[in-house]
Amino acid sequence: MPLYFYDCKKCSNNFEKLIMNANALVACPKCQSTKVIKLMPNSHSSLSEAEKRAQLKKVGKAQGVGRSIDRSWDPKKYQDHY
């Protein structure tokens, strides 16, 4: 069964639902309204290639990717000391 993502027009609730039939009537679990919009899957991206690269660069910096390595530290000196 595919998992679909929806947004309720009435209460702005975002929810996901397993649906057998893609054309089935879907109601919001919070307010029971059937006025819902099917959202695009998370794999869809409307960003340009330059925007995607900029976002990936920000994530990489946050995770420490590409940081400089301290080459002044010598493991041999540390081992000899202890």
The pLDDT tens digits of the residues spanning 6-56 come to: 999 999 999 988 888 878 899 999 999 999 999 876 665 566 788 877 777
The CATH code of the domain at 1-40 is 2.20.28
Inform me whether the pLDDT recorded for 76 exceeds 60.
yes
Closest among 59, 82, 60, 78 to 70, alpha carbons compared: 78
Is residue 66 very low, low, confident or very high in pLDDT (cuts 50, 70, 90)? low
pLDDT of residue 32: 96
pLDDT of residue 56: 74
Inform me whether the pLDDT recorded for 80 exceeds 90.
no
